[in-house]
A and B are shown apart, each in its own frame.
Chain A
Amino acid sequence: MKRKWIIPLVIFIFIYITSFLLDRNMIEINLQIKNQAPSLLHLFGTDWLGRDMLIRTLKGLQLSITIGILTAMLSTFLGLLLSLVSSVNKTLDKIVTSFIDLFLSLPHLVTLILITFVLGGGLKGVVIGLMLTHWPAITRVLRAEILQLKEMPYVQLSKQLGKPLWWRARHHLFPHLAPQLLVGFILIFPHAILHEAAITFLGFGLSAEEPAIGIILSESMQYLSAGMWWLAFFPGLSLLMMIIIFQRFANTLKDYFGRDRSYEQQVND
């Protein structure tokens, strides 16, 4: 059981760390070797400026994963915060649930475009946009969980004994919510990466000089009709592989915790 989730995790972390070892200056312009098809020297080929696509892809993955971890953490935290807020009283609960409904009423990508549009794109826009679009699903799950826990005799008892909300949250709720938070985080992470690539591809996300997968793919569109398939094929495939490896780890870990599967339905939409 343990080996099943350790191996994908190790591969994932290995690739992530390798990408840090690569210096950004290795993406140098070398016009003598531009537009080369994949070869042993350049496994993923080179682009129209002679930059090695393998290094660009690895750097792009590094950026994607970093953003993914950051935003998944931020939106899990936001979900926790809002679900705690909703547990205070009926009015606050109503406000939080109507916000959830409001955010779920727009297509995910449209909300993301709207927020990055308002914030003017860039790294800040993408991170805030992703954070604000991924919290509703986890907030729903946590809210339902807290609603149940709140009715437990021992929680009621400590309320009667005059323990403040924060104390109750820390001692009674968090220990139960911790696995939910972890599962929520690992389910949001791949979505965040895919949405980051998508929004960058559309031109609302990271700026063009960043080595992001979305940028690489949107640039490659101009060269597809010239038959330079490697510009799009390998970077996309690498992103897909990374996500699949992570999903393998996530699925096993999720079963390991043995919690209910109500998550899957909600985070997947």
Chain B
Amino acid sequence: MSDQAILPRGLGAPLGAGGAGVGGRPRRAPWVAHSILPGFGLSLGITLVYLGAIVVLPLTALALRPWELGLDGVWRALTAPRVAAAFRLSFGLSALAALLNAPLGLLIGWTLTRYSFPGRRIMDALVDLPFALPTAVAGIALTAIYAPTAPLGHFAARFGIKTAFSPLGIFIALVFIGLPFVVRSVQPVLQELDREVEEAATTLGANAFQRAVRVILPTLAPALISGVSLAFARAVGEYGSVIFIAGNMPMRTEIAPLIIVMKLEQYDYAGAAAVGLAMVVIAFGSLLLINGLQLFLARRGRV
């Protein structure tokens, strides 16, 4: 008798894919591709449980919470002028910061991989610092040089530019924390660029600009996009490093995560969840879009 007979119908199929049925012929659900690796059922089971407990469960709780306010209440919570302004600020600045990091991160990755010069390894290690620093430390550090009384902030103020406690300050912090994502995404691809491909382009008459734009950049595009999307996702959720430099003025320099914290402090858990859910939806939507674009680019030439 097959081991599947004692299992509920739904569970039998994926478990059966792991081993051969007693009758000799492997029993497998038709939608499971054949693999010679054993343990598919067990590993998929653990994957599902873990993902469910760690990712899906909290997100479900988040998704359910706001509705105790009613559809109307959620709508009002999200469209309150202060909340809407925070959304615009957070997503807008995050996108701008990620876009600035695209060329600059690419350039830094390029410099660090394509040339060799003294101090290259130290510079390479420096790139990781925004990753490694506790975000609050980054926030204090940034405020320490960009505050109106601090050296850089003072210098900028002489030209009438306000750095800290303005959207520009938030932008600087988001650029800071997003940079490593872009650099670290493009570096491995740059490292594996085939020298001969560039040499071939040169012998065919391409100048340096044509080689960069028509040969190297298309190869890098998927990695670059993935780096930019990571930087964007990180920037949207960034709290620690922004909160000191932002100044947190209502309607002007309040970021969306701060709105959540404020609502929580006022025991408005449903309202906080509503803002949180909206952030998840927007962020997830943009990531889907970016991943789709990346997939499209990566598919070309690699089918």
Whether chains A and B associate is no
